[in-house]
Amino acid sequence: MITIPEGLTVRRPNAEDHARVLAVLDRWWGDFKGQAGSLERALLLPRLFFQHFTTTSYLAERPDGDLAAFLIGFFSQSDPNVAYIHFVGVEPAMHGRGVATALYRGFFDEARACGRRHVHCITSPGNTVSYAFHVRLGFQVLPGAVGAGNPPIQPDYDGPGLDRVVFTLDLAGP
Ligand SMILES: CC(C)(COP(=O)(O)OP(=O)(O)OC[C@H]1O[C@@H](n2cnc3c(N)ncnc32)[C@H](O)[C@@H]1OP(=O)(O)O)[C@@H](O)C(=O)NCCC(=O)NCCS
């Protein structure tokens, strides 16, 4: 399904993986944004993603079965041209080895095969690694973003005080 480095195996997640993924979020995100960030992350990954979005999501495990990475994505119900990557994380010890790139490329291939033209996703302002990662993969910040800073943000995008950087990638591009 996906060619992934480091001898990892990739499969679809299921409901039994929900607790395992929640358990690593704070460590994998380096406690980004403290307690508020912890709550926000947990609420971004309710169980339903491990029940109803499994066929467009991935979970990578090490040979010993430990969790190495996950990608939660889906194909838009509303726009048949769009696929959406909701949440992705890689075990910190495996950062910088192409694991997330492999999961994204696998998702891109499946999205393309299902007739999707664009991939959308968002990240939090201040998550500079996530920003660099998405730009490196060819994502562009959605036109209309405001703010003179780098990265440009969309204020209150996800609700009051919940600013976001909004990305889009054209799967037909280079
Ligand atoms: C963002 C994240 C998923 C990247 O995963 P990864 O497997 O380390 O990424 P890759 O090895 O595939 O990196 C691909 C490119 O992204 C960029 N990148 C990755 N980590 C980077 C870093 N720490 N600083 C700058 N650029 C970085 C590089 O350009 C890299 O390409 P290169 O190695 O050829 O230069 C990972 O850092 C992570 O899990 N972070 C915590 C969770 C998170 O922020 N998730 C995303 C928001 S939902």
Point out the domain boundary residue: 116, 136, 160: 116
- Considering the domain architecture, whether residues 108 and 37 belong to the same structural domain is answered as yes
Tell me which residues have their CB closer than 6 angstroms to ligand 1. 28-29, 87-90, 95-101, 123, 127, 129-130, 132-133, 136
For residue 28, report the distance from its CA to the centre of ligand 1, in Å: 12
> pLDDT value at position 148?
61
How many domains are contained in the chain? Answer: 2
Nearest protein Cα to ligand 1, atom 48: 87
Point out the domain boundary residue: 116, 138, 153: 116
If pLDDT is split at 50, 70 and 90, which confidence band does 143 have?
low
Tokens representing residue 88 in the block? 């992705």
- Considering the domain architecture, whether residues 49 and 132 belong to the same structural domain is answered as no
The residue type of 143 is P
- Considering the domain architecture, whether residues 73 and 95 belong to the same structural domain is answered as yes
- Considering the domain architecture, whether residues 158 and 140 belong to the same structural domain is answered as yes
- Considering the domain architecture, whether residues 44 and 70 belong to the same structural domain is answered as yes
Q: What is the pLDDT of residues 87-120, one digit of tens each?
A: 999 999 999 999 999 999 999 999 999 999 999 9
Phi-psi region of 31 (alpha: psi -120 to 50; beta: other; left: phi over 0): left
- Considering the domain architecture, whether residues 46 and 126 belong to the same structural domain is answered as no
Point out the domain boundary residue: 98, 116, 134: 116
pTM for the whole structure: 0.96
Mean pLDDT score across all residues of the chain: 94
- Considering the domain architecture, whether residues 106 and 124 belong to the same structural domain is answered as no
- Considering the domain architecture, whether residues 86 and 170 belong to the same structural domain is answered as no
- Considering the domain architecture, whether residues 5 and 83 belong to the same structural domain is answered as yes
* CATH at residue 2: 3.40.630.30
Tell me the residue range of the domain where 126 lies: 120-174
d(CA 70, CA 149): 30
Please identify, by atom number, the ligand 1 atom nearest to the C-alpha of residue 101: 12
Ligand 1, residues 21, 95, 169: which to mutate, most atoms within 8 A of Cβ? 95
